[in-house]
Amino acid sequence: MGTVLLSQTPVMLTLPSDAVRQIQWRFADRFDLQMLVQSARGVARGTVARLVAAGERNTHEWTPGKQAMLQAFDQAGVTAAFMEPEEGGFIAGPKNLALSLAAFELAWVDGGAATASLASCLALAPIHERGTLEQVSHYMVLAAPPQPGEDRQPWRGAFALTEPIPYVGVDTGMLSGKLSIAEWNEGEEPVLQVDKRGRFITGIAFANFVTAAVNSADPRIKGSCVVILEETDEGIFDRGTATKKLVHQLSSTGDPVFNLRVPASRIVGGYTVKDGVIVPTYNHSEVIEAVFRRTRVPVGLMTAAKLLSAVEPVIRYQRQRFRGAEGARPGSVRYEQGIQQREDALHRLVDVWAAGEAAASLGFAAARLFDALDPLEKQKNAILGERGVQGGRAEMKALKESELHAVELLNLKSGTVRRNELEADPLVQFVLIDAEANVLCPATKLWNTGHGANMMREAVSLMGGYGITEDCPGFLANKWMDAQLEATYEGPEAVQRRQLTITMTSEVFIAQFRSWIREMRGIASHHPGTGACTLASAMHLWLWSLNYLQSATDADGDKLYHGQRQGVTFPLADALCWLLASRAQILDVLELEERGASDPVAAEGLAGTVQFLSDLCHTQAATAAGEASRICAELVFGYNAHPTWDEEEHRSCFSTAELEELEETMPGICAMAVDVITIDGAHPQKAGPCAGCAGSAEFLRLQSKLTTCLTGSRVAKDRAAETVSKVMIPEALDYPAAG
Ligand SMILES: Cc1cc2nc3c(=O)[nH]c(=O)nc-3n(C[C@H](O)[C@H](O)[C@H](O)COP(=O)(O)OP(=O)(O)OC[C@H]3O[C@@H](n4cnc5c(N)ncnc54)[C@H](O)[C@@H]3O)c2cc1C
């Protein structure tokens, strides 16, 4: 490692402060969110950390200690973060970023605690997103924490979609929960009979209400819906046994059984009666889609928090590793730097840190996007409602023109009259943000949790044996294992990949993506140290590969890009996620550089922090580019049959005689030629003549350009590693370890 590297560049002296994070993640002007972060952090590093340290994760049961954690959430305002001010909350407007920040803070210490806090929101979300006005006001108020002087417990909820095998899990269509009509007297509201068994239902130990997905088992009810169940409803509300989880033990999970009679007014979103048949306004898939597309983002941020939370404990462990040994006297390199003398230890920590930065940037970008989308979605519904269009195919048709306008907008230079006109159109804004959100949400859930779980293993490994003990500072082993649950629940990786397969090919998203390539090239011209150019080249290669694969066929002439061909579509989705995370990371560092100077706290040491975070961007961009390049190459070339040495296929090879003749007019050709066949038919020892495939020349050109674009990325990594070896950290972690 070049020790002179830092001599010309500003150096980051301390870990990024809250002021830095507020600017990067864009809540520097949101005092309400800053307060929420502080109070969630207080509970996380106080109550939650003490529970973990005291071994509360060692039981599956719901204990008084875990229950007290919920009360701590209430008192700190974490529970109320989901509510409107008039419902008992304190944050006005969309709350995606707020919930994401709270989940991030809690997961910094324990993922189960974060899940426990989110579970009630997940139960309320079907009502919040698709409920009738009466349902919303009724349940949100019940679930709000008591105001000072009020003597009541807030209602808590559970969301029940998943059922015992072989029913719903990933495939939400195979629903076994049943809904029928128990009683329907003339002129009265029907009474429904609900039969639902749940599997792995979070929050069930203490839920006062459950939002459950059910299918009609009665010709007088159409399709499926989500129905609200209450613990005091007539019939069986059996919470079942606790799931024997290896993860997230601070949340409650169990397999409940419900056999209840409820009024039809509990159907989420209401219903109409047509020809004697109850027609729910929304089927269960419509409700679930509206819920998950928002709630999956905080889950992705939980894993991001874990990665970033690992940095400080690992640095401390590495530095102190040899202290106390006879040969390591204070002041010696061995004493001061410990394992940080070694390049590999530093480089691996840089990789963990860079992945954590990228994951956080991607997740918070997605959360902000949903905050922008929420009011636009309402506006869109109002505009289309006035035109008599509501949901489904009719809406898709109605928005087609706006999609064309969105694509047009993306191709116009800023400031033109036409662009200004299109930008002012709320429907155009809606389709633009919707198309992006449809990609960023599954990308956050997929990449942050999946790649995050892999990188948590790296973080654990950096702590050696200590890493896989309960005593490990920062509870890293718990976090590693917990990350796997985050990758699984609310739809595992296959669900996210399946969604990306569709959304990443939308015309609006592709036009957006093209504009992002231009954006990255622009950034590269004034901020080459961020890796933006590397990223732009990788994005170009990905887009080329997507286009190619959409029309190419395999060796048997079968189409490559289609829904059933997950071997093609899923890896392409994975590659895209790497690129999106890297882009979000770069944009956040630029934001910091631009706004940091005017913030008195962030301004201190700003240049060093920006330098370090840019080096992490460059490192991450190189890794992302490598992943995308590997995946695309495999897909573009991998489905062609390799040529063989038979007569037909080696026709394009040179024979020795031909080469000798050509050498007379083209001296040197013999040295260039590969795959030469001798007079007796002998050929080089390999599978066959080198393969070429349609379009390969262009792919190789782009890939080769990408490879040279990696120039400088290792210099950045060395510089980042050197900073990691010098950055100051507090004397001790601000939350306890076990024991
Ligand atoms: C602790 C915990 C808490 C939970 N909380 C809740 C809750 O509150 N409410 C709730 O409703 N559910 C909850 N769940 C359930 C959770 O959402 C499901 O476990 C998850 O969605 C995966 O479904 P599954 O377990 O049936 O896996 P499966 O569907 O059996 O999937 C197994 C594997 O096969 C893959 N796979 C499945 N289908 C496909 C496909 N079509 N294409 C390619 N690959 C595929 C999956 O990606 C996965 O790798 C919870 C689960 C756990 C463990």
* Per-residue model confidence as pLDDT tens digits over 231-259: 999 999 999 999 999 999 999 999 999 99
pLDDT for 694 equals 66
Is 162 a pocket residue for ligand 1 (Cβ < 6 Å)?
Answer: yes
Average pLDDT, the chain: 93
> Higher confidence at residue 671 or residue 317?
317
Out of 284, 488, 569, 570, mutate this one to test ligand 1's pocket (max ligand atoms within 8 Å of CB): namely 488
Q: pLDDT-derived band of residue 1, with 50, 70 and 90 as boundaries?
A: very low
- Which of 168-172, 185-189, 483-487, 637-641: highest mean pLDDT? 483-487
Is 200 a pocket residue for ligand 1 (Cβ < 6 Å)?
Answer: yes
- The stretch 141-146 carries a mean pLDDT of 92
Q: State the Cα–Cα distance between residues 226 and 127, nearest whole angstrom.
A: 9
Is 578 a pocket residue for ligand 1 (Cβ < 6 Å)?
Answer: no
Out of 489, 499, 569, 570, mutate this one to test ligand 1's pocket (max ligand atoms within 8 Å of CB): namely 489
Q: State the Cα–Cα distance between residues 223 and 460, nearest whole angstrom.
A: 48
Angle at 712 between CA 709 and CA 716, to 5 degrees: 130
Is 570 a pocket residue for ligand 1 (Cβ < 6 Å)?
Answer: no
Residue 570 Cα: closest atom of ligand 1: 43
The full DSSP string for 296-318 is HHHHHHHHHHHHHHHHHHHHHHH
Q: State the Cα–Cα distance between residues 461 and 295, nearest whole angstrom.
A: 31
Instruction: Give 643's DSSP letter.
Output: P
- The stretch 601-624 carries a mean pLDDT of 97
pLDDT digits over 506-559, tens only? Answer: 999 999 999 999 999 999 999 999 999 999 999 999 999 999 999 999 989 999
Q: pLDDT-derived band of residue 3, with 50, 70 and 90 as boundaries?
A: very low
Is 445 a pocket residue for ligand 1 (Cβ < 6 Å)?
Answer: no
- The stretch 4-18 carries a mean pLDDT of 81
Q: State the Cα–Cα distance between residues 57 and 66, nearest whole angstrom.
A: 10
Is 532 a pocket residue for ligand 1 (Cβ < 6 Å)?
Answer: no
Residue 247 Cα: closest atom of ligand 1: 1
Q: Ligand 1 centre from 124 Cα, in Å?
A: 21
Residue 198 Cα: closest atom of ligand 1: 11
Q: Ligand 1 centre from 494 Cα, in Å?
A: 9
Q: Ligand 1 centre from 264 Cα, in Å?
A: 29
pLDDT for 660 equals 83
- The stretch 681-697 carries a mean pLDDT of 75
- The stretch 225-231 carries a mean pLDDT of 98
Q: pLDDT-derived band of residue 4, with 50, 70 and 90 as boundaries?
A: very low
Q: pLDDT-derived band of residue 739, with 50, 70 and 90 as boundaries?
A: low
Is 485 a pocket residue for ligand 1 (Cβ < 6 Å)?
Answer: yes
Token pair recorded at residue 519: 């954006």
Q: State the Cα–Cα distance between residues 459 and 450, nearest whole angstrom.
A: 15
Q: Ligand 1 centre from 74 Cα, in Å?
A: 30
Q: Ligand 1 centre from 378 Cα, in Å?
A: 31
pLDDT for 257 equals 98
Q: Ligand 1 centre from 199 Cα, in Å?
A: 10
Q: State the Cα–Cα distance between residues 212 and 215, nearest whole angstrom.
A: 10
Question: In angstroms, how far is the first alpha carbon of the chain from the final one?
Answer: 39
Taking CA atoms only, the protein residue closest to ligand 1 atom 37 is 170
pLDDT at 14 over 60: yes
- The stretch 674-702 carries a mean pLDDT of 78
Residue 158 Cα: closest atom of ligand 1: 8
- The stretch 100-118 carries a mean pLDDT of 97
Is 488 a pocket residue for ligand 1 (Cβ < 6 Å)?
Answer: yes
Q: Ligand 1 centre from 338 Cα, in Å?
A: 43
pLDDT digits over 371-427, tens only? Answer: 999 999 999 999 999 998 877 788 999 999 999 999 999 999 989 999 999 999 999
Q: pLDDT-derived band of residue 460, with 50, 70 and 90 as boundaries?
A: very high
- The stretch 613-621 carries a mean pLDDT of 98
pLDDT for 518 equals 96
Q: Ligand 1 centre from 168 Cα, in Å?
A: 8
pLDDT at 5 over 70: no
> Higher confidence at residue 696 or residue 224?
224
Is 493 a pocket residue for ligand 1 (Cβ < 6 Å)?
Answer: yes
Q: Ligand 1 centre from 159 Cα, in Å?
A: 14
Please write down the long-range contacts of 375-380, taking CB distance under 8 Å and 24 or more positions apart: 375/93, 375/94, 376/426, 376/429, 376/430, 376/433, 376/434, 377/430, 377/434, 379/426, 379/430, 380/426, 380/427, 380/430
Q: Ligand 1 centre from 162 Cα, in Å?
A: 8
The full DSSP string for 55-104 is TGGG--S--HHHHHHHHHHHHHTTGGGGS-GGGT-S--S--HHHHHHHHH
**Residue 386 burial (CB < 10 Å; 0-12/13-18/19+)?**
exposed
Q: pLDDT-derived band of residue 621, with 50, 70 and 90 as boundaries?
A: very high
Taking CA atoms only, the protein residue closest to ligand 1 atom 36 is 494
Q: pLDDT-derived band of residue 137, with 50, 70 and 90 as boundaries?
A: very high
pLDDT at 171 over 80: no
Is 115 a pocket residue for ligand 1 (Cβ < 6 Å)?
Answer: no
Ranges 101-110, 217-226, 648-657: which has the least confidence: 648-657
pLDDT for 650 equals 67
Q: Ligand 1 centre from 417 Cα, in Å?
A: 49
Q: Ligand 1 centre from 479 Cα, in Å?
A: 20
Q: Answer whether the bond into residue 166 is a cis peptide, omega within 30°.
A: yes
Instruction: Give percent of the chain with pLDDT exceeding 90.
Output: 82
pLDDT at 708 over 80: yes
> Higher confidence at residue 391 or residue 283?
283
